[in-house]
Amino acid sequence: GENVEQHPSTLSVQEGDSAVIKCTYSDSASNYFPWYKQELGKRPQLIIDIRSNVGEKKDQRIAVTLNKTAKHFSLHITETQPEDSAVYFCAASIPSNTGKLIFGQGTTLQVKP
Amino acid sequence: DAMVIQNPRYQVTQFGKPVTLSCSQTLNHNVMYWYQQKSSQAPKLLFHYYDKDFNNEADTPDNFQSRRPNTSFCFLDIRSPGLGDAAMYLCATSDRGLVRQPQHFGDGTRLSIL
């Protein structure tokens, strides 16, 4: 079955710097890749997603890139702010009736003021 | 406005005493999921419904059951909670159409076992 590896597990950056989180997936049939942000004690919130028919998607300070050949995708956050501090999860989904997601292990991002 | 609503937010039960967690949605999505999440680990899928079709994950303990009486509601029943079942339980929904849609999560129920 599908497996998603996420790195790094923790990431500390200075406010204003960029942060990059990388994920690799195993099933080449995967065609949907969302990223979730989860603050302490809160629900995961979708921040950006990408489908396999595009290579890059951007939304203000957040961008995601997808390399289908290498089976990896990355989250890029520019001009980081302290409120970006949270746990970030990547996920992958294969075509199916139910949209089941396979999550990466999570990255704890700390943005230091 | 909350679109995926979980009740209660916090639940305390005794070891071995059955407990039911509830989830409702106003999105009219056809898929509902239940996840277990422990201390900043990734959410772990327990089972999901596509309409009325139930899909159990292979490693979900028999202690966990689910009901979906209609499109809007889904319940998680833990028949005999053990200390290892203390966790955050997240409900999510998605609209499974021709184009993959994201999952929307509720705020979760934090379950404690005494």
pLDDT score of A96 more than 90: no
Count residue pairs from A and B with Cβ separation < 8 A: 55
Find tokens 């289908």 and name the residue: A68
Mean pLDDT of B85-113: 89
Nearest to A94, CA basis, from A106, A86, A102: A102
Per-residue pLDDT tens over the stretch B28-39: 999 999 999 998
Set of chain B residues whose Cβ sits within 8 Å of the Cβ of A105: 41-42
Query: Residue B2 has what pLDDT?
Result: 62
Give the separation between CA A98 and CA B6, rounded to whole angstroms: 21
- For residue A69, name the pLDDT band (cuts at 50, 70, 90): very high
Average pLDDT of the residues in B41-48: 93
Residues of A in contact with B108 (CB under 8 A): 43
pLDDT score at B98: 59
**pLDDT tens-digit profile of B61-87?**
999 999 999 999 999 999 999 999 999
Q: How does the average pLDDT of chain A come out, rounded? A: 94
User: In Å, how far is A7's CA from the nearest CA of chain B?
Assistant: 13
The verdict on a CB contact (< 8 Å) between B100 and A108 is no
Highest mean pLDDT among A94-98, B17-21, B95-99: B17-21
Residue B40 has a pLDDT of 73
CB pair distance less than 8 Å for B105 and A34 = no
> Which of A98, A102, A107 has the most B C-beta neighbours within 10 Å, making it the best mutation to test the interface with B?
A98
Q: A105, exposed or middle or buried, with CB in 10 Å at 0-12, 13-18, 19+?
A: middle
Q: How far is B8 from chain A (nearest CA, A)?
A: 14
Name chain A contacts of B43, Cβ cutoff 8 Å.
Answer: 44, 89, 103
User: CA of A99 to nearest chain B CA: how many angstroms apart?
Assistant: 7
pLDDT band at A60 (very low <50, low <70, confident <90, very high): very high
pLDDT at res. A99: 79
Concatenated DSSP letters of B33-101: EEEEE-TTPPPEEEEEEETTEEEE-TTS-TTEEEE--SSSEEEEEESS--GGG-EEEEEEEE--SSS--
The CA distance from A29 to the nearest CA of chain B, in Å, is 13
